Amino acid sequence: MNTSTRFRRVYAASLALTASLALLGSAPASAKASSAHRPVNLVHLGTHAGDKAEIVAYDWITRRAYVTTAKSLSLDVLDVRDPAKPVKIASVDLSAYGTGAVTSVDTRHGLIAAAVESADAAERGTVVLMRPDGTVVKAITVGHSPDMVTFTADGRSLLVANEGEPVGYQPGQADPEGSVSIVALDRGVARATVRTADFRAFNHRRLDDSVRTSGPGATVAQDLEPEYISVSKDGRTAFVTLQENNAVATVDLRSARVTGIDGFGHKDHSKPGNGLDTSDRDGAIRIEPRPVQGVYMPDALAAFEHRGRAYYVVANEGDEREYGKGDAKYADGIRLADLDPALLPAGFDRSLLAESEMGRLTVLRPAGAGDPVRSYGGRSFSIRDAEGRLVYDSGDLLERLTAEIDPANFNAEGEGDFDKRSDNKGPEPEGLTIGEVDGRLMAFVAIERTNGVMVFDISDPRKPVFQNWVRTAGDESPEGLEFVPAWQSPTHRPMLAVANEGTGTTSFYTVTR
């Protein structure tokens, strides 16, 4: 019997017992919930079976949820007055505003905003502003490849992360600049104006060494790719993840200017507590220190304030650059064993190139001989201060928790596909949101590959405490999360909505203690 089969059989009986995290008491020491507070639970209410659900936003005035569908030019509208029985009541056709996909949606004060990209990277995208019934009020041209929209808390501004992904790096292929659009709504939707925060001022500035700019022939402004936005509590500053660049940009919303780019550094996986499972061919769960550096490459983030200081929490998913096709294809990843041995660091143990060790691990192509071995993502979530300094990183906790709670789905590709993603980015924390529950701040982290959501109490940014885990059968690849406070919720209790890209489902949960 191989080790993989043994893991499945040994834990099969326990899986039914751990659906609500009965293993909390035996979780790793750093993960235990404090005895002073009852752990937060996620209780499944209901699920809507849609088509490639990706991002979800909730309008508390109408008690409707708006869901983007990946690779589609429509927006689904769900009636969630009873979240145990969500009902699709409309599909808003947005094909008149773009040729790519509806990539993001947000709501505020009864106004709905959806980002629509063009299939042609050389063309700018559009943000469509709608009433809750889907009636379009105004369409606004923004930057290239709008990938995320979010309102400020007061609803007076709408921010757009324009990723500006290239078609490729061959002559004649478009490589637009990334940017952040700031749409002013304080004079009303009809009189909305747009300002653009670009990165051209950084074309000739020295950046932190860990800010990754790698596109052949690209300027810094072309290379930087805004992914996700969150706004500080005072509404003056936006924090913007630059995922492929391993950084976060700071944007002054009053001047519409990028004021800083903070590199995230690299995660030392050789240190105890920072281990990872690097092989999908060993038939086992082996989380251990390895001579590799993780490039955090954050995806979603959420800003918050603690004792008067600004922080943000990020999901360190990682992301390869892979553009073009055939002979024109550009890819910056390679399996470690396929790397020219002359490029390996001095003293690297060649026995680790075996498939059962690190040989199949996808790593970034090094810039030169002797550069450190670097893998995609941090397999973690982190908390940083407003200057980008690391306050907390979950280390290898996400993999250890999965191994303990749901080993059959450890680093899985899908349901029960054990260990298949260990040679890539492991659990892939991607989506993230925060919300207050009984006076304590919680972070909800979507683990894309293990198909679940983990909850952490981050009331003390330096000492997050693991609370719970939920994975609903039939939901795969959670991406978009929306926290609904009790006063806005149809159940009068805090609620979490989760859009699952893999299965197209949107699930709703009550957040309780």
Reading across the β-sheet that carries 53-59, which strands appear in turn? 53-59, 64-69, 74-79, 87-93
What's the pLDDT tens digit per position in 423-459? Answer: 999 999 999 999 999 999 999 999 999 899 999 999 9
Bridge partners, residue 248, by sequence: 241, 262
| Burial readout 354-364 (b: 16 or more C-beta within 10 A, e: otherwise) | eeebbbbbbbb
DSSP-derived secondary structure for 413-425: SSTT-TTTTTTTT
> pLDDT at position 33, please?
52
pLDDT higher at 244 or 325:
244
Tokens of 160: 């757009």
**CA atoms of 350 and 291, how far apart (whole Å):** 12
> pLDDT at position 119, please?
94
pLDDT higher at 286 or 35:
286
Tokens of 266: 């690299």
**CA atoms of 328 and 348, how far apart (whole Å):** 32
Q: Output the average pLDDT for the chain.
A: 92
What's the pLDDT tens digit per position in 403-414? Answer: 999 999 999 987
In this structure, how many other beta carbons lie within 10 angstroms of the beta carbon of residue 413? 18
Q: Name the percent of the chain lying above pLDDT 70.
A: 93
> pLDDT at position 413, please?
86
**CA atoms of 242 and 298, how far apart (whole Å):** 7
In this structure, how many other beta carbons lie within 10 angstroms of the beta carbon of residue 414? 15
The secondary element (H helix, E strand) that includes residue 279 is none
> pLDDT at position 36, please?
63
Around 77, how many Cα atoms within 13 Å sit in the side-chain half-sphere? 20
* Residue boundaries of the structural domains of the chain: 3-512
The answer to whether 320 touches 333, Cβ cutoff 8 Å, is: yes
> pLDDT at position 324, please?
82
Q: CA torsion, points 199, 97, 75, 447, in degrees to nearest 10?
A: -20
Angle at Cα 96 formed by Cα 90 and Cα 102, nearest 5°? 60
Instruction: Compute CA distances 244 → 92, 111, 146, 241, 316, whole Å.
Output: 32, 31, 16, 9, 11
Options 3.20.20.80, 2.130.10.10, 1.10.287.130, 3.30.830.10; CATH of 3-512: 2.130.10.10
